[in-house]
Amino acid sequence: MQLYIKFFAMHLKSQMQYKLSFFLTALGQFFASFTVLLGVYFMFSRFHEVEGFQFEHVLLCFAAVLMAYSIAEMFGRGFDQFPQMLGNGEFDRALVRPRSVIFQVLAAKMDFTRFGRLFQAILVFCYAIPNSGVIWTWDKVLALLLMVVCGSLIFFALFIVYAGFTFFTVEGLEFMNIFTDGGREFGRYPFSIYGKRILKFLTFVVPLALFQYYPLLYLLDREKNMLYMFTPVIGLLFIIPSCAFFRIGLRKYKSTGS
């Protein structure tokens, strides 16, 4: 843990060497997501609800998914950029060091400019939480916390899967963006609006709905069963096959010779 904190401080210090560039990039990240928020606002200015969900309810979804994705991308950027590490031969050095390969990739890159998106998620929460009509008891607060924390870990697991495919293809597979960037974009609305088949896929295959849709039903008192509150924790089981797939790829790895 101490070593990871040292990497954290090193990356933060290096990125803050160019403060203007850092803040402009973070500002760009903020406005890139702000256009998505405007799309949600304009849609609800015409239609007052979607599948029974009101504007403030959707904002809870939007903020939870955006915050989870921003945290995962901020600290899991090494896996997101793994194809470059593999292609230029940098990964070969990780194999001869006395540390876990996953830890080294994790610590190789942190992108704090993603704070722009994270800050926007905080602002949306500041509006949605008091205006959603939710009575915030301890269990509702815990459910919201689990949505964000477990959601970030599930997105992180998807980055690991993306890196695992790179062992077989060398170049990254763009279809994985359907579940990472696509999960963030489509997660602005409850996943149930996309149909039962999509909801089942995002429940049993790629468990994005487990941290977004089902705990939202509990927050809005549409489901009283406390199991819905803990579905984000169930979604963490996705980390096991994700890491297993990465290790399978690692055993098949052959250096590019760069």
- Record the pTM: 0.91
CB 109 within 8 A of CB 193: no
Tell me the domain boundaries of the chain.
2-10+19-251
- Give the closest residue to 216 by CA, choosing from 234, 231, 238, 233: 231
- Residue 170 confidence (pLDDT): 66
Task: Categorize the per-residue pLDDT at 258 as very low, low, confident or very high, splitting at 50, 70 and 90.
Answer: low
The rounded distance, in Å, linking the Cα atoms of 7 and 110 is: 9
pLDDT, tens digit (0-9, with 9 covering 90-100), for 120-153: 999 999 999 999 889 999 999 999 999 999 999 9
The rounded distance, in Å, linking the Cα atoms of 193 and 209 is: 12
- Residue 234 confidence (pLDDT): 96
With 0-12 / 13-18 / 19 or more C-beta atoms within 10 angstroms meaning exposed / middle / buried, residue 122 is: middle
- Residue 91 confidence (pLDDT): 81
